[in-house]
Chain A
């Protein structure tokens, strides 16, 4: 007879990073220092939206990966669509939620 499994939340905390250099160099650690191997249930590497957006225009992201397969019209784009919104939203991590619908540049083809 297995009794009801007691569900408890894994305690977690959010750590704010402002720069990739603040990440632990050891990939088995998560930012803030929890260890994968010793945390019950494992710890996920969690990133907030603005942290991800901060890296959107970092140098490595301007060009496609070198080994990106060529798919006509997809990874070798045939059209460049003028976006009504300039690319300047990139890196603005603090865009209010309400504005997101309007500011979202569907995609930047300017690189």
Chain B
């Protein structure tokens, strides 16, 4: 039995069929493509990781100026390559936040793509934050939310903010009008059955006291970063 190949059996059973139904690329060609792509397993969409340090009372422009684009990941490997090589949550100082945003979306409420969205805000104990962040990151890049949001809505970002006491994790969606009736927080509990969140609620971006309306959106437009794959600005 040793070394016996299932493929051989199949070929025997179906004589008229060549070795497989795979695309007609030669092994060498496949190898070449694989090498070109560096073996990366593609994500459904690119995701961009940002870092910021919050300043009390900052305007959108100040926030924007402080926002650092860490990297845009497009494959599972590039995600880990970044995750494995930046400080973990427990190494971040208070006031710092990481944001993972879909495509080249920025974690700025006033940006056009975000204006109609909001976040589910989850307050979690420090002992849970790293675990919550990692599991929710995987849920995002693995597209595990699809069945948990209402039709027409989408999960478009994830933020973690380190605070002096409890930390805040936020899940960004596209449309605040579709937040009600969404299963997003149920999904969080399914993903993190052992975690007790201290508080959770949904907040549309536009209801934030500091929300600046359309003004800053226009000022952003001119200097919008290249759509994606830009490592930094």
Contact = CB atoms under 8 A, between A and B. Distances in A.
A80 to B, nearest CB: 9
Q: Summarize B's interface: helix, strand, loop or mixed.
A: mixed
Contacts of B206: none
Size class of the A contact interface (CB-based, 8 Å): 35 or more
Given A25-B30, A27-B42, A106-B130, A69 B68 contact: yes
B81 A64 contact: yes
A74 B51 contact: yes
Interface stretch (B84-92, B160-168, B170-178, B220-228): B84-92
A25 B88 contact: no
Contacts, number: 148
B42 A104 contact: no
Contact of A106 (B68, B82, B88): B88
26 contacts: A25-B23, A26-B23, A44-B44, A44-B143, A45-B44, A46-B146, A47-B141, A48-B144, A52-B76, A55-B80, A65-B231, A67-B231, A68-B70, A68-B71, A71-B51, A71-B68, A73-B87, A74-B68, A74-B87, A100-B135, A101-B194, A104-B130, A104-B134, A106-B89, A106-B130, A111-B84
Interface of A: 7, 9, 20-21, 23, 25-27, 44-49, 51-53, 55-58, 60-65, 67-69, 71, 73-75, 77, 79, 81, 97-98, 100-101, 104, 106-109, 111
